[in-house]
A and B are shown apart, each in its own frame.
Chain A
Amino acid sequence: YCEVRIDLAKEMALGKKRIVAQKSNLKQRRGVEEGGLGIELELVQYKRGFGRKRVLISETRDSVFTSPVGTISSKKLCDKTLGTGGQSRELEDLPLDILVKIICGVEHEDLKQLFHVSKTIREATLIAKQSHFAYSTPRKTLIFQLGRYGLDKPFDLGEDKIEAPAAPLQKRYRRINRNEDNSGVSVALFN
């Protein structure tokens, strides 16, 4: 187990470096290279019920799969082999840009919960929030009623309790033309 620990420490440093590097370069390919190496090495223990904790991988290992928070849960050290796990890959083993991509697939209301899951997930959620959710409209109930008067009803802030958590505020107030005579318009249309 000693060997394992030392290697893990080395890899933690490596892992940290890698993750920093990845932050600046979010291209998938980069994640691929690193990810690729990780997969290759993981295979050795892919069989189910593989009980060995000792892993031969460490020297050639050069990937981000070692979660920088690996040592915090000592259980992880024992049960799984370095980083990826002897039997199974963990979500946090995935490169950051892939985590971001996954988080972009969740709904806005889940973002808040993701912040609490773990530091790694929070980091990825922040990035996803800034790059994706800031520019996308959350899936919510329709506030406007189109077609009633041929115009959008301005939304009543009193009724609308549900607010998109991360959408940029876009208040649009349309002029209410209820009192105006629209017959002129219809004449123009149907003449």
Chain B
Amino acid sequence: MTKEMFTLKSSDGFLFVVDEAVVHQSVTLSPMVQDCAGREYPINNVTGKILNLVVEYCKNHVVVDGGDSSSSSSSGDALKKWDDEFITQMDLSTVYDLIMAANYLIIKGLFDLACQRVADEIAACKDHEEIRATLGIVSDYTAEEEAEVLKENEWAFD
């Protein structure tokens, strides 16, 4: 059986040729398998840089998910390790983009992975100042509002 190849086109014009197994990991893209073989499928919401990462993720996950499950536990561990390295090497801005892309393409594993990376960053912070610094958030609280929140929290968390 010849493998069908599909061409995905990022919003900035980069082309990625992938096989069916990769496409199937995206709930959004799966239906195109019937329609678009041989044609370019534009993905207008995702840049080449991010789509590249998405494709890389999917390619790695094809091997384990689709194939035979021999030595599944060791390959599962290896995959997890790969996932961890994959997601931690990026800066947060890229992770946010990846979250949006995985959200749009509906790739649950990637979406969860990226969200958890951000959650881990938050969890690693000691206090809200550090969270702000790490995530690059500027507080929109006035001094009064902040005091109010502090008061509110005291009874909410008791």
Contacts and interface: CB of A to CB of B under 8 A. Distances in A.
5 contacts: A39-B101, A88-B93, A116-B146, A119-B140, A121-B137
Contacts of A40: 11, 44-45
A117 B104 contact: no
A98 B103 contact: yes
Contacts of B46: 39
Contacts, number: 131
Main secondary structure of the interface of B (DSSP, over half): helix
A73 interface: yes
Interface string A100-139: 0111111100101111111111100000000000000000
B103 A118 contact: no
Interface in B140-158: 140-141, 145-146, 149-150, 152-153, 157
Contact of B45 (A35, A106, A118): A35
Chain A CB within 10 A, most for which of B50, B100, B101: B100
Nearest to B13: A43
Interface stretch (B16-24, B60-68, B69-77, B118-126): B118-126
Contacts of B99: 94, 98, 102
A165 B82 CA distance: 34
A102 B149 CA distance: 21
B137 A90 contact: yes
Contacts of A43: 11-12, 47
B119 A39 contact: no
B92 interface: yes
A78 interface: no
B138 to A, nearest CB: 4
B41 interface: no
B20 to A, nearest CB: 23
B115 A98 contact: yes
A110 B139 contact: no
A46 B137 contact: no
A132 to B, nearest CB: 12
Interface string A174-187: 00000000000000
A57 interface: no
A80 B133 CA distance: 17
Contacts of A102: 99, 115, 118-119, 122
Interface string A37-74: 11110110010000000000000000000000100110
8 closest A-B pairs (Cβ-Cβ)?
A105-B119, A88-B93, A36-B45, A116-B128, A69-B140, A89-B96, A73-B138, A39-B45
Given A32-B103, A89-B93, A121-B137, A105 B115 contact: yes
Given A88-B93, A91-B137, A105-B120, A35 B131 contact: no
B157 A76 contact: no
Interface in B2-59: 11-12, 44-47, 49-50
A28 interface: yes
